[in-house]
Amino acid sequence: MTTLRNIRQSALELKSIYALTLCAVLLALRVVLGFVSVGGDTYRITFSPLPVFICSYIFGPIPGAIVGGLGDIVTLIVKPTGPLNIGITFSEMMVGFISGLFLYKHKANIFRTILSCVTVAVICSLRITTVSILIMYNISNPWIMFLGRVTTNAITVPVNIALLFACQQLIQRIRLPHLNVVK
């Protein structure tokens, strides 16, 4: 019941002009970080999910999903790297939604942060995104690609955990106007 209440409350966060403004800033940061990556199209190390995690922590799963999905679409509009893959866009939305379920309305907790980042990596990156790439590019040997994506996630997940937890602690210490951040 609490989860459904939190989802409803996160949708109501979008009524605030402060929330919309901060979501727009986090969206812009997500787009910029989407351009900064190491690797190719299939194996990429990027920190573009971090603003989505932060948005989910502050505003919940609904704004997090919106920022994640729009971030993917805007990044493709600004710097096209191929056609729009609806599976990858869905995966980016799920990054915001799942992390919002774990982090919204909770104090900074390393266990929740680890659980959130690992769950997002397993469901979104290793499953939804991998299947979407396999379908889009018709890759003949999926196991080699899957092992490469596991290696990529083994590098990025610990870094995302550390950065997200540091950002959560920082957000709890600063006072943002008219935002209901858990203290």
- Type of residue at 22: L
Question: For residues 130 and 116, what is the distance between their CA atoms, to the nearest angstrom?
Answer: 19
Checking if the pLDDT of 59 tops 80, the result is: yes
- The pLDDT, as a whole number, for residue 115 is 98
Q: Express as a percent the part of the chain with pLDDT over 70.
A: 92
Using only C-alpha atoms, the chain has a radius of gyration, in whole angstroms, of 16
- The larger pLDDT score, comparing residue 114 to residue 178, is at 114
Checking if the pLDDT of 180 tops 70, the result is: no
Angle, nearest 10°, between helix axes 86-103 and 2-12?
110
- pLDDT per position as a tens digit, 16-49: 898 999 999 999 999 999 888 777 655 677 889 9
Statement: the pTM of the whole predicted model exceeds 0.85: yes
- The pLDDT, as a whole number, for residue 148 is 86
CA 65 remoteness from chain centre? 8
Alpha helices (H) along 43-141: 49-59, 61-78, 86-103, 110-120, 130-137
- The pLDDT, as a whole number, for residue 117 is 97
- The pLDDT, as a whole number, for residue 73 is 96
- pLDDT per position as a tens digit, 126-166: 999 999 989 988 888 888 888 988 998 998 999 999 999 99
- pLDDT per position as a tens digit, 64-105: 999 999 999 999 999 988 889 999 999 999 999 999 999 999
- The pLDDT, as a whole number, for residue 41 is 59
- pLDDT per position as a tens digit, 1-17: 578 999 999 999 999 89
Other Cβ atoms within 10 Å of 41 Cβ, number: 11
Checking if the pLDDT of 183 tops 50, the result is: no
Checking if the pLDDT of 181 tops 60, the result is: no
Residue with tokens 């490469």: 148
- The pLDDT, as a whole number, for residue 96 is 97
- The pLDDT, as a whole number, for residue 42 is 54
